Chain A
Amino acid sequence: MDLFGSYALLLAFALAIYAIAGGVAAIITRRPLLIKSARNAGFAVCALIWLAFGSLVYLFFTDNFAMAYVAEHSNRNLGNLYKFSALWSGQQGSLLFWSFLLSIYVFSALFSYRGKHPELMPYVGVVLASVQLFFLTLNNFVASPFAVLALPGAGGVLHLASQADGHGLNPLLQYPEMVIHPPVLYSGYTGFTIPFAFAMAALIGRYPGEKWIHLTRKWTMIAWCFQSAGILLGAHWAYAVLGWGGYWAWDPVENASLMPWLTGTAFLHSVMMQEKRGMMRVWNVWLVFTTFLLVIFGTFLTRSGVVSSVHAFAQSSIGKWFVGFLIIIISACLIAFLKNRDYLRSDNQLDSMISRESSFLFNNLILLVACVAVLSGTLFPVLSEAIRGTKISVGPPFFNRVNLPIAMFLLFLTGVGPLLAWRKTSMESLRRNFGWPLLAGAIAAVVAVAFGLREFYVTLCLMLSAFVTFTVFSEFYRGARVISARAGSNLFSSAAQLAMRNTRRYGGYVIHFGMVLVFIGISGTAFNQDKQMDMSPGSVMAIGPYTLHLQNFDSDQQANYSSERATIDVDKGGKSVMMLYPQRRFYPSNEESGTMVAISSTLKEDLYVVYAGHSPDTNLPVIHAYLNPLVKWIWLGGLVVVLGTILALLPNRQAVMVMSPSTERSPVLGGDGRQPARASISARSQLPKDNV
């Protein structure tokens, strides 16, 4: 099976070269058979990558410890779920997993548009195959997951070897979320390849009109949705597993995932200007290019060891390959742009400063500045070391201070944008649209201050959250009221109908509301409390309204680990409200320890308890408790963002023209004096029967 996987990857590599060469030849000669052949080669590359991936899955599930990668990342007692997630726990497997996910996207794109857009798709096929070729090069020749285990024998000669058992999986990765977080995040990363391929293809092929933008939007939204969900799942994993009481540490690897998300978000907004007004063609193409470049750059950061991170893979020489690929992409983007920049010329006009267009310009500016802030902070230690020879740290205090005002401005624009009309917004419209939302924001701020809130940014965040929420709900309310008046349905079903008639617009509003929830959740950080104590059975610790009574400790032996568990009775107002069981685990296969945090989560706050080990002074177990307000709002917000994206991806429920006999008398009579047969056309939406 190891040979099977290796050969499948080698064949995929050869076919990817053919898909590129054949595609270029097809573009030049315009021969339909050659176009089809190159496309079929693309399909075959995908199928072969799937086979290689399948064979690696088989090697893990059959505990084939003759394979170096399997021996290093799995062991016999590892549960099946984690045997699967062990596939992407190391450099080699994760790169094959990257190729695997990319191949799903490539196959979907090639299959969806087979026989369509003949002027565009050959170019798309070539770009996609080129990206695949890079990753297949890594899979085959730089970081193959199919390397066999060899041990040095007499005279230093390597001999094939096999181990009785593997080293096992990193304990931090033995958590259910780690089974879904990397696939979701990687789906986001790899998904941005499709818009890049379309943008590059449209530019090189000088594809007329805005069609490529329409085709790209869906793929960008899918990738963006995965990226958003992946980032939040990663934050949740860090919160639930790492045991430091937080969810975002501005770690370089976290930053690497945030940067393409920021530029992707900017693109999803500015693309509307191109669709509606034919504006910002150059900007949009460069936003797509930048997003893809940041994806590759983020992968380089994670895998090269250029920045230190708890999430990063071990330092390796793979970084230079990514640097080379980045140089090739930047050069290709620049050459394609310089050669075809006249194709991107657009008749940009702005009727008014107070318009949806200008709000999008500012939205893009803020998102890009956020990206620059994150990028510069992430790379500054490297820059400092290169120039001054002194390494410095750029940690959360820097990122929080720099990004807070940017985030607040962005939140403000989230509320303002939807209230502004395209082209021009009249003063009367401004008064009408902004009056109530501004009042809601002001009331929220007054209430917050009256309740003793003195944190400037938290108050501002709550004020803007109320403002945005009010704008979102007022948009739904106004539309639903019209439908309700016409169809006689209640407001909720009318709002649902409204959303289904323009899924993109109302899905966007739902996403905005989800982001508001995330912001509210983040604002809770200002009120975090924590306490740490050396505790023995019978000890008591008070934190916020809770009193933690440590009852006892017990231990347990599982197949893959042994654990120590604290049993903590939690009181609130003198009444026992819950039992918490924080754990420490020891994994003998790799001799590493890990924590299992006990979290009691409500909308108001999380009680987060960590069994942090034994105190070196007293040798007593150390319990670290945190009281983190509003954290659950972040995960709820993430869920709302995903649901909003799914809504925005659904096709609109179209209003249909229904022919019905007219009851009106015609002013013109037929020759026989009778009213001529006539049908009037009335527009009815395709509503459920009870509403029609």
Chain B
Amino acid sequence: MSKRRRLALIFSAFVGIASAMLPLHVDAQKTERGKVIGTKLMCMCGCGQILRECNHINCPSSGPMIKEVDQHVASGEADDLIIQDFIQEYGEKVLSAPPSTGFNSLAWYIPGAAFTLGLGIVLVIIRMWRQRDVHRLASASAAPIPLATLDSEVKSVQLERARQQADKETEE
């Protein structure tokens, strides 16, 4: 067999295998797309579950809805269009998460706003507490040291030494 004929055979074999696999691949893609779209929609039977996860026995909604998704996917419609179709049919409540536009975007902003506000408060608190500590140290260094304070300072030095020893013993 000449080199050219061998190459042609390999090429045609490759094309044959690839074309045999293509429908499978497309089917798999359809199923995957259907699954992904199914997670973006809610079952409308009132169970409050995602369409793909509703498994109520004899559920009147999930079966027909999943079929509808599969039909849309099979007809080659884009994901957004399929979802729009469902919104038109069932209303916004068919979406498993609020869209990030208009009033509904508020749902997405609340946790972030809470975090930002909380972080701001925590940072202000930390700053206040640290300033208080600085003021305490400053006033302590400016004032004459009474005997009792000196005594407590000695005690705190001893305490610090004991702490260091305890740290060394438990950590080393």
Chain A residues within CB distance 8 Å of chain B? 242-246, 249, 251-252, 308-310, 347-351, 353, 358, 361-362, 365, 368-369, 372-373, 376-377, 380-381, 384, 387-388, 390-398, 401-402, 406, 478-479, 482, 584, 593-595, 610, 612-613, 616, 624
CB distance A613 to B58 under 8 Å? Answer: yes
Checking B107, B119, B122, B130 against A394 with a beta-carbon cut-off of 8 angstroms, the contacting residue is: B107
**Complex-state Cα separation, A353 to B127, whole angstroms:** 9
CB distance B118 to A368 under 8 Å? Answer: yes
CB distance A365 to B110 under 8 Å? Answer: no
CB distance B130 to A396 under 8 Å? Answer: no
A351-B133 contact given A249-B49, A365-B119, A613-B57, CB 8 Å threshold: yes
A401 partner residues in chain B, CB cutoff 8 A: 97
For the complex formed, measure the closest distance between the CB of B30 and the CB atoms of chain A, giving whole angstroms.
15
CB distance B92 to A396 under 8 Å? Answer: no
B55 within 8 Å of A by Cβ? yes
Q: Of residues B48, B114, B122, B130, which shows the largest number of chain A Cβ atoms within 10 Å of its Cβ?
A: B48
B14 partner residues in chain A, CB cutoff 8 A: none
**Complex-state Cα separation, A468 to B41, whole angstroms:** 36
Closest to A397 in B: B97
Q: Of residues B39, B63, B170, B172, which shows the largest number of chain A Cβ atoms within 10 Å of its Cβ?
A: B170
B129 partner residues in chain A, CB cutoff 8 A: 348-350
B40 partner residues in chain A, CB cutoff 8 A: 397
CB distance B118 to A616 under 8 Å? Answer: no
Closest to B95 in A: A393
Q: Of residues A358, A392, A616, which shows the largest number of chain B Cβ atoms within 10 Å of its Cβ?
A: A392
A252 partner residues in chain B, CB cutoff 8 A: 48
For the complex formed, measure the closest distance between the CB of A497 and the CB atoms of chain B, giving whole angstroms.
13
For the complex formed, measure the closest distance between the CB of A588 and the CB atoms of chain B, giving whole angstroms.
15
A365 partner residues in chain B, CB cutoff 8 A: 115, 118-119, 122
**Complex-state Cα separation, A280 to B123, whole angstroms:** 15
B50 within 8 Å of A by Cβ? yes
Cβ proximity bits B100-112 to A, threshold 8 Å, 1 near / 0 not: 0001101110110
B98 within 8 Å of A by Cβ? yes
For the complex formed, measure the closest distance between the CB of B92 and the CB atoms of chain A, giving whole angstroms.
5
A377-B107 contact given A308-B48, A348-B132, A397-B97, CB 8 Å threshold: yes
For the complex formed, measure the closest distance between the CB of B168 and the CB atoms of chain A, giving whole angstroms.
10
**Complex-state Cα separation, A372 to B58, whole angstroms:** 36
**Complex-state Cα separation, A246 to B63, whole angstroms:** 19
Q: Which of B20-76 contact A (CB under 8 A)?
A: 39-40, 42, 46-50, 53-55, 57-58, 63
B7 within 8 Å of A by Cβ? no
Closest to B40 in A: A397
CB distance B170 to A482 under 8 Å? Answer: yes
CB distance A393 to B132 under 8 Å? Answer: no
B94 within 8 Å of A by Cβ? yes
CB distance A369 to B97 under 8 Å? Answer: no
B47 partner residues in chain A, CB cutoff 8 A: 310
Given contact pairs A244-B54, A373-B114, A584-B57, a sample of 13 additional A-B residue pairs in the complex whose CB atoms are under 8 Å apart:
A249-B50, A249-B53, A361-B122, A365-B119, A365-B122, A373-B111, A376-B114, A380-B107, A387-B103, A391-B93, A394-B98, A394-B107, A479-B170
CB distance B63 to A616 under 8 Å? Answer: yes
Closest to A610 in B: B55
A373 partner residues in chain B, CB cutoff 8 A: 110-111, 114
CB distance B130 to A353 under 8 Å? Answer: yes
**Complex-state Cα separation, A344 to B110, whole angstroms:** 30
B136 partner residues in chain A, CB cutoff 8 A: 349
CB distance A384 to B122 under 8 Å? Answer: no
For the complex formed, measure the closest distance between the CB of A46 and the CB atoms of chain B, giving whole angstroms.
37
A384 partner residues in chain B, CB cutoff 8 A: 98, 103-104
CB distance A402 to B50 under 8 Å? Answer: no
Q: Which of B121-158 contact A (CB under 8 A)?
A: 122, 125-126, 128-130, 132-133, 136
B94 partner residues in chain A, CB cutoff 8 A: 393
**Complex-state Cα separation, A242 to B48, whole angstroms:** 13
B126 partner residues in chain A, CB cutoff 8 A: 350, 353, 358, 361
CB distance A376 to B107 under 8 Å? Answer: yes
CB distance A394 to B53 under 8 Å? Answer: no
Q: Of residues A347, A361, A365, A395, which shows the largest number of chain B Cβ atoms within 10 Å of its Cβ?
A: A395
A244-B114 contact given A358-B126, A478-B171, CB 8 Å threshold: no
CB distance A372 to B114 under 8 Å? Answer: yes
For the complex formed, measure the closest distance between the CB of A343 and the CB atoms of chain B, giving whole angstroms.
19
**Complex-state Cα separation, A616 to B59, whole angstroms:** 11
14 A-B contacts, Cβ less than 8 Å apart?
A245-B55, A251-B48, A310-B49, A373-B111, A392-B98, A393-B42, A394-B98, A395-B42, A395-B96, A396-B96, A398-B107, A398-B108, A401-B97, A612-B55
A310 partner residues in chain B, CB cutoff 8 A: 47-49
Checking A245, A351, A362, A392 against B104 with a beta-carbon cut-off of 8 angstroms, the contacting residue is: A392
CB distance A369 to B111 under 8 Å? Answer: yes
For the complex formed, measure the closest distance between the CB of B62 and the CB atoms of chain A, giving whole angstroms.
10
B89 within 8 Å of A by Cβ? no
For the complex formed, measure the closest distance between the CB of A441 and the CB atoms of chain B, giving whole angstroms.
21
B80 within 8 Å of A by Cβ? no
B39 partner residues in chain A, CB cutoff 8 A: 397
For the complex formed, measure the closest distance between the CB of B95 and the CB atoms of chain A, giving whole angstroms.
6
**Complex-state Cα separation, A349 to B91, whole angstroms:** 54
A361-B55 contact given A390-B91, A395-B48, CB 8 Å threshold: no
**Complex-state Cα separation, A245 to B35, whole angstroms:** 15
For the complex formed, measure the closest distance between the CB of B101 and the CB atoms of chain A, giving whole angstroms.
12
B104 partner residues in chain A, CB cutoff 8 A: 384, 392
A308 partner residues in chain B, CB cutoff 8 A: 46, 48
A369 partner residues in chain B, CB cutoff 8 A: 111, 114-115, 118
**Complex-state Cα separation, A222 to B55, whole angstroms:** 36
B92 partner residues in chain A, CB cutoff 8 A: 390-392
**Complex-state Cα separation, A270 to B136, whole angstroms:** 24
For the complex formed, measure the closest distance between the CB of B118 and the CB atoms of chain A, giving whole angstroms.
5
CB distance A309 to B48 under 8 Å? Answer: yes
**Complex-state Cα separation, A612 to B125, whole angstroms:** 55
CB distance A394 to B55 under 8 Å? Answer: no
For the complex formed, measure the closest distance between the CB of A472 and the CB atoms of chain B, giving whole angstroms.
15
CB distance B48 to A397 under 8 Å? Answer: no
CB distance B103 to A406 under 8 Å? Answer: no
B49 partner residues in chain A, CB cutoff 8 A: 244, 249, 310, 395
**Complex-state Cα separation, A245 to B111, whole angstroms:** 28
**Complex-state Cα separation, A430 to B18, whole angstroms:** 57
CB distance B97 to A394 under 8 Å? Answer: yes
For the complex formed, measure the closest distance between the CB of B61 and the CB atoms of chain A, giving whole angstroms.
13
Q: Of residues B46, B54, B92, B128, which shows the largest number of chain A Cβ atoms within 10 Å of its Cβ?
A: B92
For the complex formed, measure the closest distance between the CB of A554 and the CB atoms of chain B, giving whole angstroms.
19
For the complex formed, measure the closest distance between the CB of A105 and the CB atoms of chain B, giving whole angstroms.
32
CB distance B118 to A397 under 8 Å? Answer: no
CB distance B53 to A245 under 8 Å? Answer: yes
**Complex-state Cα separation, A406 to B115, whole angstroms:** 9
For the complex formed, measure the closest distance between the CB of B99 and the CB atoms of chain A, giving whole angstroms.
9
B130 partner residues in chain A, CB cutoff 8 A: 349-351, 353
Q: Of residues A358, A369, A593, A616, which shows the largest number of chain B Cβ atoms within 10 Å of its Cβ?
A: A369
CB distance A402 to B96 under 8 Å? Answer: no
Checking B53, B96, B106, B170 against A393 with a beta-carbon cut-off of 8 angstroms, the contacting residue is: B96
